[in-house]
Amino acid sequence: MFNNKRILISGGTGSFGSKMLKYLISTKVKEIRIFSRDEKKQEDLRRSIKDKRVNYIIGDVRDYKSVFSSTRNIDFVFQAAALKQVPTCEFFPLEAYKTNVLGTSNIIDASIENKVKKIVVLSTDKAVYPINAMGISKAMMEKVAIAKAREIQLKKIKCSICITRYGNVMFSRGSLIPFLINRIKNNENLTLTDPSMTRFLMSLEDSVNLVKEAFLNGKNGDIYIQKAPASKIITIAKSLLKVFNKNNKITIIGPRHGEKIHESLCSSEEMSKAINLKKYYRIPADLRNINYDIHNKKNNIFKNRKAYTSENTKILNEKDLVTLLKKQIEIKDKLFTY
């Protein structure tokens, strides 16, 4: 699917971008462009992955001119650039808006102008029933992407936009598990906000596979979600202590700004039209125009479905979670260097 194609990964030095890059260089892709604004992360990635097909571009998704230049002669775009730390976005909501909403809009507009064939935009469970600035900005980002998908259909433009939604990616930079592992290794207390909080659990490999699924099979405007187990954060902490054979003290500090007790990957309204694909849910976009009276109303009746949340998915106990963690290559690497 990528043979002789040119691909852009915006936010390409992040956890997903680095993982996707490692996958892409194993294919017969013609060129991979890594677009991001952090020169240090680009240099680190360049030194770790040496391949002549990879080109690094310093730029910011907020700057349309640099995005436009970077998407020239590109076949496919993976939009992963984002501000995603919940407390940070709470303190700087306009910055979250500029990157997550305007930045994604720039990526899509430039891609359409440069005749990109397919765009996959990365979102988050926090976009569903959002209560924090990060989630609100991602929810608005999704609305922008679907509005652009509707425009593409109306104007018969040969491009397709899909969205993927993630839960907690276990070893993504700045997430809970790497934070706890660092404290375990430094013999520090494990600080948790609220032990009853639940979070979806996905591997970095899962995140790449979800994007590949949306890329291969997604129709214009689709949202793709991977069914995932979840766990209480207290179970995550205790499981990590077992994996590392440590007994660090666990301290409860209370919720941070903008945190939810449970996360949702799919709202009840979306579940009423979601298509069950065994491992995934596909949510087709409503691509009708605004003249509602010309459409068939019978096709748009809500069914009574529960939201898909980290509270009602499969909840992993300590034993299950220890088994899952030990399978992850990132844990094996940490244990080896411990």
Active site residues: 126
Residue with tokens 């520090």: 188
CA separation for the pair 229, 243 (Å, rounded) = 19
Q: Which two tokens stand for residue 145?
A: 């992407």
The CA-based angle 253-255-258, given to 5 degrees, is 150
- What H or E segment, with its residue span, contains residue 192? strand 190-192
Interior/surface letters 19-53, b for 16+ CB within 10 angstroms, e for the rest: bbbeebeeeebebbbbbbbeeebbeebeeeeeeee
Pairing of strands 6-10, 76-79: parallel
| SS percent in the chain: helix, strand, coil, step 5 | 45, 20, 40
CB 2 within 8 A of CB 78: no
Q: Where are the alpha helices (DSSP H) in the chain?
A: 15-24, 39-48, 64-70, 86-91, 93-96, 104-113, 133-155, 176-185, 204-217, 233-243, 268-271, 318-327, 329-337
Contacts of 296 (CB under 8 A, 6+ apart): none
